[in-house]
Amino acid sequence: MAWVEIQPISDTHFNRPANQRPTMNKRSYVMITKGQGAGRIAQVIDYLHDKSVYAVMINYNGYVRFVKTEFLRKPTKQEKNKDKKQHNLELQLDRYQRAYFNDLIYTR
């Protein structure tokens, strides 16, 4: 019986591919890069099952926007401090917004 030496897994094994975007979970902060609310920090309320569209609430005014994943990124600490939360609204979609959001599954 021969002993086999096990090689440790390299750090590059766990790195994600360059084309894969970081996941953004509910209640996490994101920066909107294009469209309405561009340059603003928002908080994720919900997302479609394939994470192609996110429902976000903009920190500045509490408006809800539906944004494609390509137009979102994780903000830096300085950006978060610059654009603080200025509303006191619940992080929920009302029934009309939920109906619109669910229709996005079939209209994309």
Q: What is the pTM of this model?
A: 0.72
d(CA 90, CA 50): 24
Is residue 49 assigned to a domain?
Answer: yes
CATH number assigned to the domain comprising residue 28 = 2.30.30.30
Is residue 31 assigned to a domain?
Answer: yes
- Which residue segment(s) compose the domain that 93 sits in? 22-107
Amino acid residing at 91 = L
Q: What is the pLDDT along the chain (108 residues), one digit of tens a residue?
A: 566 665 555 444 445 555 555 578 888 999 999 988 889 999 999 998 888 899 999 988 888 999 999 999 999 999 888 888 778 778 888 888 888 888 887 776
Is residue 13 assigned to a domain?
Answer: no
The domain tally of the chain equals: 1
Is residue 12 assigned to a domain?
Answer: no
Is residue 8 assigned to a domain?
Answer: no
Helix, strand, coil tally for the chain in percent (to 5): 25, 20, 55
